[in-house]
Structure 1
Amino acid sequence: MAKINILYGSVYGGAEALAEEIGRWLTDQQHQTSVIESPQISDVTAPDCLLVITSTTGQGDIPGNLEPFFYTLRDQFPLLNAKPFAVIGMGDSSYGDTFCGAGEKWFELLCELQGKAIRPLLRIDATETLEPADEAMPWLKEWVNEI
């Protein structure tokens, strides 16, 4: 099975809780899974697959625990050589144009690093979904079947 690293950016704990839940499910499916709050470059380059789960803060910004690493990746630019990845963005659609802005930024960066997007960015809207896993799990199951 695959070695999958899950990076998460969370302000109030929602993205962290979702990352933990997904990590447990992937482990139950016999994948080697790590859920990472403060990643290093090797956490992106070493695994077979990468999943980023991030809430959005401010005006489409990346949460503080993941933001410095985002800029490190952008500056060091380690090529992912078609490594499969996916991004789950969490936000509030009442913010308009900045809805899931952090997820969009991550998706774009991983594409620029020449990762292979297996699924489109999943946008989870807090105004419509009380339990993010309800939307994430069916999407995740399709992603896992494609990696």
Structure 2
Amino acid sequence: MTKIAILVGTTLGGSEYIADEMMSQLEVLGHEVSLYLAPKLSELDTQHLWIIVCSTHGAGDLPDNIQPLCTEIMLKNPDLSHVQFGLCAIGDSSYDTFCQGPEKLIHAIESCGGKAIVDKIQIDVQQDPVPEDPALAWLTQWQDII
């Protein structure tokens, strides 16, 4: 089956809960899944599918635990042409910067050749008080292509 890296960007832990649920669902299907709470480029295999589960912090920023990865990608400009990814963004629509933080990481990955294999999901915690539900539904919709 597929080797998958789940990259988590979280401030208060909500994204981690979602990532844990995704990991469980993917492991049941036989995939080999690794979860990264403080991902470093040197730890990530560009041949694995990257699922990015990330919230927005502050005024449209990335959470502190994943910001260093984004900075590293922007500074080193690595070849990520083999990276395929999916984005699960979590935010609060009462803010102007709804789900904008993860877009910075996606832009960095795409500028180095990475490609999204599915449409992103933007989960609004105002509409979905249990964000794991829409995240798992999103994953179920496309998990057969991995």
Task: Say yes or no: TM over 0.5.
Answer: yes
Q: Which string of whole-angstrom CA distances, capped at 9 and with x for unpartnered residues, describes residues 106-146 of structure 1?
A: 22222212112111221000110011121111211233222
User: Shift of residue 47 of structure 1?
Assistant: 4.2
User: Shift of residue 45 of structure 1?
Assistant: 3.3
Q: 2:105 maps to what in 1?
A: 106
**Which deviates more, 39-48 or 119-128?**
39-48
CA contact (8 A) 2:73 2:109 kept: no
Q: Distance in 2 between matches of 1:39 and 1:52?
A: 11
Q: Distance in 2 between matches of 1:88 and 1:74?
A: 21
Question: What runs of 5+ residues in structure 2 fail to find an aligned partner?
Answer: none
> In angstroms, what is the RMSD of aligned CA positions?
1.4
Q: Which string of whole-angstrom CA distances, capped at 9 and with x for unpartnered residues, describes residues 29-83 of structure 1?
A: 1000001111121343344200111111100010011111210111112222242
Question: What runs of 5+ residues in structure 1 fail to find an aligned partner?
Answer: none
Normalising by structure 2, what TM-score? 0.92
Q: How does 1:40-79 map to 2 (within 5 A)?
A: 40-79=40-79
CA contact (8 A) 1:103 1:121 kept: no
Q: Distance in 1 between matches of 2:44 and 2:143?
A: 18
Secondary structure of 2:105 counterpart: helix
Q: How does 1:11-22 map to 2 (within 5 A)?
A: 11-22=11-22
CA contact (8 A) 1:91 1:126 kept: yes
Secondary structure of 1:106 counterpart: helix
Q: Distance in 2 between matches of 1:143 and 1:76?
A: 31
How many residues are matched?
Answer: 146
User: Shift of residue 8 of structure 1?
Assistant: 0.3
CA contact (8 A) 1:45 1:80 kept: no
Normalising by structure 1, what TM-score? 0.92
**Percent of aligned pairs with the same residue?**
34
| Larger proportion of helix | 1
Q: 1:83 maps to what in 2?
A: 83
Q: Where in structure 1 do 4 or more consecutive aligned residues deviate above 6 Å?
A: none
CA contact (8 A) 2:92 2:126 kept: yes
Secondary structure of 2:44 counterpart: helix
